[in-house]
Amino acid sequence: MDSRLRRPADPDPTKVPTMNALRVPQSSDLAGALTAVRERAPLVQNITNYVVMNTTANALLAVGASPAMIHAPEEAGDFARISNALVINIGTLSAPWVRGMRAAVSAAADRSVPWVLDPVGAGATPYRTDVARELAALRPSVIRANASEVAVLAGQLVGGRGVDSLHSPEAVSDAAATLARTCECVVAMTGEVDYITDGVRTLRIRNGDVLLSRVTGMGCTASALVGAFLGAGHDSFLAAAAAVALLAVAGEDAAAAASGPGSLQVQVLDTLYHMTPAAMAARLRLE
């Protein structure tokens, strides 16, 4: 628990591998980004949903970050000021929690603390869509979402059955790029293929396993890991890509070792804990 209370020193910019803003990072860049997470143990504040609090805290610990789940309006802003990154996930949102999210995002903006938005279920109800749109407009560093949520936030669709209305992979990819340009952020859209885009560059990650869709919270875990990579000092594109890639590769290994979704959830944590940059680089399938 001690680690929750210590924020590492701000990253030394001379040691942070930053990407050329116009270059698409390669496998070695994504894999190498893990090293800084392990070395810096970033303090990552999560205002997330009840379903995944335990599993995302454990995923963050497994990669070497320090998670803190702090949501009350009375303290969410104070804590965001001392965090290295902030994760906002609306999975089980309610009015008091949204107040905490606003306080944390506002404080993060004051202190240039990077943050991730996971707009879970945007489009499913008007309330959820409204909150997701409000938060997306507050300049997250990264939006991590599925195709349906991206489509809703990109304004192409109304209602919660968006993904069925996107007739081609190209349309899906275009929605992500549109959202990235609109929100001036990086969009990490996960699914059978994962897309990372800032509206100009797009990276596709073709790792993962279908069994991951039978465990709750894998998308939420990806969002939490984006927080870990942001908190380690990486730029938004590299942080989003490295986090999504790490979970996809770990998920493949975990699925190979698991005998069902219960053991998969366990294996994912073990695999994240043992993953090395070399093993990750060797396995990545990027486009």
Q: Whose CA is closest to 25, among 262, 189, 245, 175?
A: 245
Q: Kindly tell me which residue out of 18, 28, 94, 106 binds a copy of itself, with binding defined by CB under 8 A.
A: 94
- Give the nearest distance from C-beta 148 to a copy of itself in angstroms: 5
Residue 126 tokens read as 């008007």
Closer residue to a copy of itself, CB minimum distance, 72 or 278 = 72
**The one among 11, 24, 35, 51 contacting a copy of itself by CB under 8 A:** 51
Regarding 57 and contact with a copy of itself (CB under 8 A), the answer is yes
The residues in 112-171 that bind a copy of itself, with binding defined as CB under 8 A, are 120-121, 123-128, 146-149, 160-164
Residue in 8, 11, 24, 61 binding a copy of itself, rule: CB under 8 A: 61
Binders of a copy of itself in range 30-49 (CB under 8 A)? 49
Would you call 87 helix, strand, or coil by DSSP?
strand
Residues paired with residue 45 on neighbouring β-strands, in sequence order? 68, 86
Spatial neighbors of 244 by CB under 8 A, at least 6 apart, are: 144, 188, 190, 194, 196, 205, 222, 225, 226
Task: Please give the distance of CA 8 from its chain centroid, rounded to a whole number.
Answer: 21
Instruction: Quote the tokens at residue 14.
Output: 């001379």
Binder among 217, 227, 233, 277 for a copy of itself (CB under 8 A): 217
What are the Cα distances from residue 28, in Å, to 33, 62, 228, 241, 249? Answer: 8, 21, 18, 12, 14
**Rounded to the nearest whole angstrom, what is the least distance from the CB of residue 153 to a copy of itself in the complex?**
13
Q: Give the shortest CB-100-to-a copy of itself separation in angstroms.
A: 8
Is residue 232 part of the contact set for a copy of itself (CB under 8 A)? no
Per-residue contact track with a copy of itself, 185 to 214, x per CB under 8 A?
A: ------x---------------------xx
Considering the complex, what minimum distance in angstroms separates the CB of residue 149 from a copy of itself? 8
Under rule CB under 8 A, residue 6 binds a copy of itself: yes
Q: How far is the CB of 44 from a copy of itself (least distance, A)?
A: 12
Regarding 110 and contact with a copy of itself (CB under 8 A), the answer is no
Of the two residues 55 and 207, which places its CB atom closer to a copy of itself in the complex?
Answer: 55
Q: Is 43 exposed, middle or buried (0-12, 13-18, 19+ CB in 10 A)?
A: buried
Q: What is the smallest separation between the CB atom of 274 and a copy of itself, expressed in angstroms? A: 6
Sign for the pseudo-dihedral over CA of 131, 138, 169, 24: negative
